[in-house]
């Protein structure tokens, strides 16, 4: 009984030391609430994001969209005639083999703009995962979208959203999850891992000596 408890305790210690946290990684201006543009207004200023042919926009419910998932403003990417994009470097180094996830809401306008959307997770200057789709003209609704990718390249984690056609896509509620910059193994965690491994090795050696 004591032997079984010792092995179980060593395995538990190893499990506790090896647990990887999926923290929420801060996204600047995630609901595009800044700067405030007033009901029905828009601006090409996109604080926190690098952008091209994109704006922060306050659509009128019932005229431009059926509803807004959160707040009163969204990102409007693409001007209805050419593609556009928005990008944010999250400032968190990508860890090889770690899982990263972004959640966001994607929508289109009621008045004659088709949506051809693309969402990517980046490591440095290269994408590590992507999703794409289309929304019919005049839809006016938002849908939740989730993208998960595995870290395989070096560099900071980044979020890229785009309208790839001659339409316009609305984005909001951007969230990111994965190992944060604070998830470097602590000395205490390393000690736990060492104790667990030593316990299993010691048990194995004692067992072999008894059987010899």
Its pTM stands at 0.78
Predicted pLDDT at 126: 97
Residues of the chain whose pLDDT is less than 70?
Answer: 1-21, 181-212
Q: What is the 3-state secondary structure (H, E, C) of the chain?
A: CHHHHHHHHHHHHHHHHHCCCCEEECCCCCCCCCCCCCCCCEECCCCCCEEECEEEECCCECCCECCCCCCCCEEEECCCCCCEEEEEEEEEECCCCCEEEEEEEEECCCCCCCEEEEEEEEECCEEEEEEEEEECCCCCCEEEEEEEEECCCCCEEEEEEEECCCCCEEEEEEEEEECCCCCCCCHHHHHHHHHHHHHHHHHHHHHHHHHC
Q: What is the pLDDT of residues 173-191, one digit of tens each?
A: 999 999 975 654 444 444 4
CATH of domain 21-182: 2.60.120.260
Query: For residue range 103-114, what is the model confidence (pLDDT) as tens digits?
Result: 999 999 998 788
Q: Quick one: pLDDT at residue 22?
A: 80
Q: What is the pLDDT of residue 212?
A: 54
């Amino acid at each position: 009984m004591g032997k079984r408890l010792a092995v179980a305790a060593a395995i538990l210690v190893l499990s506790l030391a090896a647990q990887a946290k999926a923290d929420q990684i801060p996204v600047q201006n995630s609901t595009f609430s800044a700067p405030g543009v007033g009901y029905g207004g828009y601006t090409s200023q996109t604080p926190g994001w690098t952008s091209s042919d994109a704006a922060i926009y306050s659509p009128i419910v019932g005229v431009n969209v059926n509803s807004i998932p959160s707040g009163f403003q969204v990102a409007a990417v693409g001007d209805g005639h050419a593609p556009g994009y928005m990008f944010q470097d999250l400032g968190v180094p990508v860890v090889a083999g770690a899982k990263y996830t972004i959640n966001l809401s994607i929508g289109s306008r009621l008045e004659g703009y088709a949506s051809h959307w693309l969402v990517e997770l980046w490591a440095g200057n290269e994408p590590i995962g992507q999703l794409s789709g289309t929304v019919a003209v005049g839809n006016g609704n938002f849908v939740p979208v989730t993208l998960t990718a595995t870290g395989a390249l070096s560099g900071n984690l980044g979020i890229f959203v785009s309208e790839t056609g001659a339409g316009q896509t609305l984005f909001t509620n951007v969230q990111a999850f994965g190992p944060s910059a604070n998830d470097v193994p602590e000395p205490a965690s390393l000690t736990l891992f060492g104790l667990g491994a030593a316990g299993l090795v010691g048990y194995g050696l004692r067992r072999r000596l008894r059987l010899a």
